[in-house]
Structure 1
């Protein structure tokens, strides 16, 4: 009864809030026009169909990147795929990576419907998916129960249940009831399997972390290797995926790092593109000798400026492996504020030592294992500069063994999916 009442209230809130959502999308569309395009899809009106496709929901960029190796494997075995997204970042990535498959009609990339039963009815009418996979831990009540009503088995994929979410759910209790509406879950580790099972989720398979299998763009690594000699013998420290609440702390840390006798070069990569200009202004005001990727290099990574710099501001999207390819060690952002750290797999895949903040509940797997293996160091804001400068580099083979031991999630997920396909 409690869940029934919640779903009725949830539907009422969404119906009353639709004008607010349209205003939100219009406002976001002023900065990124893609937000406002194909708005009919959000109401379940699709100008295309792909009956019998495998449906993958990747809400934004991070989820989409983790889905890439699995989508490629599904396409290679002859499946058709439809991906749904809420943000332009995820949709753009899908359209970029799978442009050829979209052109041949083997894949479709669309907006996820709003949380109403009639919008999802339009989605299921157009695509009639054989099953659905929700990347990470996106729990949308109407998505779950509309899928059940339409007879579409919906699974959590690459799923983890963070400890802070479990503690919150123990008090409220509604989300576990919604999770029990999934047909099953493909999870990252044995610990995650235990957590999902503890709240009644059934049909759980431990398949690992798909991000360990994501392709590494060779062109970006080649560009980094070509440019690295131009930085001289100085070490290179990358602050990657820096969130807005962390910017002041990381800028202060960068200034302190640059004050040592033989200062390294610092690469500063913000998480959000709307922060590029603000950070450039902040660096200029602080007197930091910096340059922007957009002014120092052309689109092909060829230098157009040779001016001296201590900091390179990474004001571009989709080029993280280029920035990491220049680095000797990486500080991953997000974990120095309560929302939690961003993923550490990309630098580990390049055998780079990684430092993270105190809040790692969002990447509990594989951060706990990486810290135990000596491939990653957990630090605090008041120790960040000291640890960046003095933590001994773990041997490359230590990191290589760790990443090798945790790879293979795509094959395991595909094997678990085979009976369903």
Structure 2
């Protein structure tokens, strides 16, 4: 993902050269799809893939809640970052591969279902990774997903020649080598594992730039933007679900509806604002080259991890309010405000700022993030205050965009 120019449209197996997958047989050559293909949208298989991944994201969030509520925030955040990286990286690699090569034949579907099985194995091992630092199931689930992807790249290599074949083989070889390297998490001493994880994560992220240094894959900008947006929606939906269950438990077990209402209201406002600001701009037009896509795609690790962490933070805030969390009010508030601020700042840096005009619009999200952090010190009202700040930032962004549009001839993009 490092080339500054897109490759010419690749040959298609589809009838008439449309770039769409050819459905005339159960097994077909895995050839590149056309980057200029019209009306490209996420497939039902991709949506199913996302929903299964969120099962593992939910497990990571649950374990993060337990760690923070018990006063082990540092250790819990580190474990969460490691597990979430495995989930995000496997999801991201599949997403970009599918954008370029999805031919929807029987073998492609079966291999994708194998990857889904891998993420479910990984999800089963999340609690042991957090509680016992036993990464065997996490490694096994990750290995299933990665080896399945290797088989897809080998299919591409078999159906291609020249630079495209070399790119596919570099991907397959890089993924295999990294998978061997991840064995270190099973055998290295506990104090070395975080550093080994950092090394391996950097090696994993170096595979796409190395593999595509001579030829870019034909990913579809609109399809990629839609896939990331859909996964963000699913993660935010999981955040709402987790917070709802926490509030329900608090009400049923502790009869604390009055105390929990500010958290519920503030949490909803935060999540609604998180959705609003993400979809306020049409980001696919910005993804014109591999360099831009590389930064945008990799940066979503922080966007998605922080979005999921907001839900965990709301659960921690609920547990603290009903007396089940062994942490201070400040820590409980920070569990919500810090991931919210990180989400807003990362989202601004990745794509919102490219559509803003003038210092006023540029400062909306960074200022909101700063004010959300300040809300941490407002005690029991911190979450509600953070939610109100986020809601007001949406109003301010819309007002600034409307004023600028009214002052110019012609329409301008909405830039919350």
TM-score strictly above 0.5:
no
TM-score (norm 2): 0.29
Higher helix share: 2
Q: Identify which of structures 1 and 2 has the higher relative contact order when contacts are C-alpha pairs closer than 8 Å and 6+ apart.
A: 2
Higher strand share: 1
TM-score (norm 1): 0.29
